[in-house]
Chains A and B, each alone.
Chain A
Amino acid sequence: MGLLSKKDAKLIMDPLLDDNPITIQVLGICSALAITAQLEASIVMAVSVMFVLGMGNVVISLMRNIIPSKIRIIVQLVVVAALVIIVDLVLKAFAYELSKTLSVFVGLIITNCIIMGRFEAFALANGPWRSFLDGIGNSLGYGLILIIVGFFRELLGSGTLLGIPVLGDPIEKTGVYSIGYENNGFMLLSPMALIIVGLIIWVQRSRNKALIED
């Protein structure tokens, strides 16, 4: 870690596990669940959030001394909305099919609580470089959960990963399907996302007892 001091590295590593935005801080769940039926969509979502949060944190932290605190929410919303419009237009230009799958959820990055939460909790009180690292760290933690959920939902639900069949062919009965395995279509429905996140929380908290709520 020659590039980052110990304190800076902590900013990136902490949100990955012990201070994960989704499972511990309970931020940004709205968009996390709806789009995780496919791994590809989850990854794109994670990258978009990383862009918006990283850039937004820097912008807000640069402006933190000139924003009057009474109207800061509106200022923050405008900054996020501008960044999200960039993401939306880029997706529409280069990945049109995917942007159709994500539909309104790209727009909902604006109200993703992670973004506002990190602006309020971190960027308003810290310099640009540290805010940038905080943004990257938190969006990595967010992306990690998204990718885990997306991985299981796509693998168990449609037997593919990133659209590539990995368990054999369900119609020709090759691979694991030849011994009677069936895709669990239920994994593609929205309730399973909630249950998978619940299970992730269970695993995480039984590994680290300090996180248990009473």
Chain B
Amino acid sequence: MEHIELFFKSIFIDNMVFATFLGMCSYLAVSKKVSTAVGLGAAVIFVLAVTVPLNWLLDQYILQDGALVWLGPEYAQYDLSFLSFILFIATIATMVQLVEIVVEKFSPSLYNSLGIFLPLIAVNCAILGGSLFMQSREIETLGLALNYGISSGIGWFLAIVAIAAIREKIRYSNVPAPLRGLGITFIITGLMAIGFMSFGGMLTTDGKKEESNIEAVSSKTEVLKQEKTESTQIVDIQK
């Protein structure tokens, strides 16, 4: 159940493109044709599925506060979490390079279809973002991390294929000249993001999410109230 929930949540509700804007650069640059979009999307799913679990292991056994304890009790006080950016990006860059070499060796046809996109992916925000979100959301098991990598990759894939299809069609429409190309793509993505927000109510059956939402709202109003009382206090003092 946990797995299914995370799966749908990462594809639809926390969609990388529409909810957190990750990987927008390549999303905009490579979405002119559906076929190239499919290639890049598949490569992103693949690389996310490899790097997120790997970085999960790194995070659990090297980076977290006290994670080095498996080396011996005297290592328990080390907290290497400040190194996570550099280690994550190094893992991603080497994995991308490795994947490229392996794919080239064993499956030249796949290499020909993915090939040019693989190096691009090393600097795709979606990949590093996947690992960083995995870290900040404190995903518990390796299985869930793998699930998170694959499902957020699928979310990205859906987004780029959808926008590429729309851009292919919109070429025949009469868009105002200054909006042509980039401008209209931004606005369409915005509208698609609004559409994807409607998935937000999908996983409220167990009531957990609803509660947390209500909590968030009420805490927000509390903060507002607090700010108000503070500001009135200041006014009082000034008087």
Which positions in A face B, CB cutoff 8 Å? 23, 26-34, 73-74, 77-78, 81-82, 84-85, 88-89, 103-104, 107-108, 110-113, 116, 169, 171-172, 189-195, 197-199, 201-206, 209, 212-214
Contact = CB atoms under 8 A, between A and B. Distances in A.
B25 interface: yes
B98 interface: no
Given A23-B182, A78-B86, A193-B21, 20 more contacts: A27-B25, A33-B24, A73-B119, A74-B94, A78-B90, A104-B129, A104-B133, A107-B88, A111-B123, A112-B125, A190-B19, A191-B190, A194-B21, A194-B186, A194-B187, A195-B187, A195-B191, A197-B186, A202-B183, A206-B177
A4 to B, nearest CB: 30
Interface residues of B, number: 52
Given A23-B182, A34-B21, A104-B136, A202 B176 contact: yes
A26 B182 contact: yes
Contacts of A81: 85-86, 89-90
Interface of B: 18-25, 28-29, 82-86, 88-90, 93-94, 119, 122-125, 127-129, 132-133, 135-136, 176-187, 189-191, 193-194, 197, 224, 228
B24 A29 contact: yes
Contacts of A205: 177-179, 183
8 interchain residue pairs of minimum CB distance: A213-B181, A198-B186, A194-B190, A205-B178, A191-B193, A195-B190, A198-B187, A104-B132
Nearest to B96: A73
